[in-house]
Amino acid sequence: MPRRALGSMALYLAVLLLVGAGVWFGGPRLLYATGLWSNGGSPTIDPSLYAPTPTPTPSPVTPTPAAATASQGKLPIGATLLAKLRAVDRSSVPRDGMVVIDPLTGAVVTGENADAMMTPASTFKLLTSAAALAAYGPDHRFTTKVVGGTGNSIVLVGGGDPYLSGATTQDYPERASISDLADSTAKALKAAGKTSVALSYDDSLFTGAAWNPAWTAGYHEFATPTSALWVDEGIVNGVHGTTPSTAAANAFAAQLKARGISVSSVAAGTAASGATTLASVQSLPLDLIVSEVLLHSDNDGAEVLFRQIALAAGSSGSITAAQTAMQAKLVSLGLWRDGMKIDDGSGLSRANLATPTVLALAVAEGFNDARFRSLVDGLPTAAADGTLHSRYDDPTTEGAGRGAVRAKTGTLTGVHSLAGFTRTADGGLVVFGFVANDVVPEKALAARDWLERVTSVVAACGC
């Protein structure tokens, strides 16, 4: 047996023992804290744990920037490329779909089962992001505000900013913060001669269930109930909270108190129509939000965008309204096929269905319309950043993809996918979608290797 296989087997057994011990003594929460538990979206386990470091160790590579203006080079010959793709061992993948497309014309270069309905996992975020960009445009911002109430009361109103933070930071991209909102609010109150208030919070922008019924109960460890008002996505010390609106209001109250404003009470409420705005902060522009969602495979951020799509259509911010509105946007973009299904915006649901072709065409939108540029710019780069930073570790079979392949990842139990773009050795610009379904757990690593190797074959193709 090859040395790499022996090493992988030993590490696999070690992880099984650790996971078993974690379940017995501490349950999923302990495993999450130690990085040994994976949610239904992006993996929480460092993928490098499963593969011995090659010798010499490949150095990190600089992400390849997307061209400001896409140009086309020599495209591969479809039959030749397909033969190379078929030559990659896929015994670990019971059911697969793959497609390579010229993004500038939409012409299929090659593919196999390209229009099969498959569970996409987190590559589904490409479709949610495309629909959100179509609904609002890349420059749109979401507003969190404080308005006046009756007497000495004020109301904190959630605007569905997925990245509202608890503290001001200088990190890029700089996010709106509760701290900045408290600064402006305290100044406005003091200017009006008020130093004591009763605080209400209004999270009514999103309606209906906060927790998607398509998700398993176990996902409570790894996802926050979707809210139009939260701070740091409702995550505290790596754990997703269950009452993010209340937590955000309490955090805001603490910030006001630190600025000399006494807060007598904190309670849920509703802002009156036409209430005077005392202070507000605006989110990142939507294109940067999309880039963050794609780069880090952010389930919570994607779910907020999902609800926002419904609001843009003039509907309530419910799950059902979002499903309807997102489908309508995808139809208008040519990204809908009969048989597709939308359960959520993040790809956590195993019942979501899409085709490899649709996933690849979503990426192509980023090359053809400036409104969708973040669908390209936000993609992780192989061996460099985001959810691909520690993948493509084998220089022999995956070296051509390092720094050249940019793709959205997808990971659920039994589901592994990549959708993105690369330039071939001949300079051809192509988008692709590769999806593996029905993978047995013990073959998960091999299925991931298959994805990395076929996309590297595309990048290396001078054919």
CA–CA dist 60, 68 (Å, integer): 24
Q: Is residue 319 part of a domain?
A: no
Tokens coding 97: 């779909």
Q: How many residues does the chain have?
A: 463
Report pLDDT for 69. Answer: 55
Residue 120 sits in a domain of what CATH number?
3.40.710.10
Q: Is residue 41 part of a domain?
A: no
Residues 173 and 117 grouped into a single domain: no
Q: What is the pLDDT of residues 364-413, one digit of tens each?
A: 999 999 999 999 999 999 999 999 999 999 999 999 999 999 999 999 99
Does the pLDDT value for residue 295 go beyond 60? Answer: yes
CA–CA dist 99, 397 (Å, integer): 20
Is 41 or 203 the better-scoring residue by pLDDT?
A: 203
Both ends of the chain: CA-CA distance in Å? Answer: 33
Domain that holds residue 111: 59-136+334-460
Is 169 or 59 the better-scoring residue by pLDDT?
A: 169
Cα-based distances in Å from 314 to 203, 322, 325: 17, 11, 9
Residues 224 and 148 grouped into a single domain: yes
Is 122 or 170 the better-scoring residue by pLDDT?
A: 122
Does the pLDDT value for residue 50 go beyond 60? Answer: no
Report pLDDT for 216. Answer: 87
Residues 163/175, Cβ–Cβ less than 8 Å:
yes
Q: Is residue 436 part of a domain?
A: yes
Of the candidates 310, 285, 146, the residue with the CA atom closest to the CA atom of residue 226: 310
Report pLDDT for 4. Answer: 40
Average pLDDT over residues 320-349: 98
Average pLDDT over residues 427-447: 97
Residues 341 and 437 grouped into a single domain: yes
Residue 250 sits in a domain of what CATH number?
3.50.80.20
Q: What is the pLDDT of residues 348-377, one digit of tens each?
A: 999 999 999 999 999 999 999 999 999 999
Residue ranges in 137-284 assigned as alpha helix (H): 178-191, 244-258
Q: At which of 284, 315, 344 does a domain end?
A: 284
The structural domain count of the chain equals 2
pLDDT band for 238, please (50, 70, 90 cuts): confident
Least confident of 115-119, 172-176, 260-264: 172-176
Report pLDDT for 58. Answer: 42
Residues 226 and 351 grouped into a single domain: no
Average pLDDT over residues 101-113: 97
pLDDT band for 53, please (50, 70, 90 cuts): very low
Does the pLDDT value for residue 17 go beyond 90? Answer: no
Handedness of CA 124, 130, 132, 135 (dihedral sign): negative
Residues 45/35, Cβ–Cβ less than 8 Å:
yes
Q: Is residue 13 part of a domain?
A: no
Of the candidates 454, 386, 381, 389, the residue with the CA atom closest to the CA atom of residue 417: 454
Burial of 221 (0-12, 13-18, 19+ CB in 10 A): middle
Report pLDDT for 5. Answer: 43
Does the pLDDT value for residue 20 go beyond 80? Answer: no
CA–CA dist 262, 376 (Å, integer): 47
Report pLDDT for 173. Answer: 82
Report pLDDT for 172. Answer: 79
Residues 184 and 96 grouped into a single domain: no
Residues 449 and 434 grouped into a single domain: yes
Residues 322/193, Cβ–Cβ less than 8 Å:
no
Average pLDDT over residues 51-78: 57
Secondary structure (3-state) at 239:
strand
Q: Is residue 312 part of a domain?
A: no
Report pLDDT for 44. Answer: 33
Tokens coding 450: 């298959």
Cα-based distances in Å from 80 to 85, 91, 113, 319, 463: 9, 21, 17, 44, 6
Residues 277 and 147 grouped into a single domain: yes
The residue ranges of DSSP E strands in 93-142, in sequence order, are 95-101, 108-112
CA–CA dist 307, 328 (Å, integer): 14
Residues 128 and 234 grouped into a single domain: no
Residues 170 and 275 grouped into a single domain: yes
Q: Is residue 31 part of a domain?
A: no
Residues 391/383, Cβ–Cβ less than 8 Å:
yes
Least confident of 3-12, 94-103, 199-208: 3-12
Secondary structure (3-state) at 392:
coil
pLDDT band for 246, please (50, 70, 90 cuts): very high
Residues 186 and 63 grouped into a single domain: no
Residues 263 and 376 grouped into a single domain: no
Handedness of CA 25, 30, 35, 41 (dihedral sign): positive
Report pLDDT for 78. Answer: 96
Does the pLDDT value for residue 59 go beyond 90? Answer: no
Q: What is the pLDDT of residues 127-172, one digit of tens each?
A: 999 999 999 999 999 999 999 999 999 999 999 999 999 987 777 7
Residues 165 and 276 grouped into a single domain: yes
Q: Is residue 327 part of a domain?
A: no
Q: Is residue 289 part of a domain?
A: no
Query: Cβ contacts of residue 52 below 8 Å, gap of 6+?
Result: 3, 4, 7, 8, 11
Handedness of CA 284, 389, 421, 72 (dihedral sign): positive
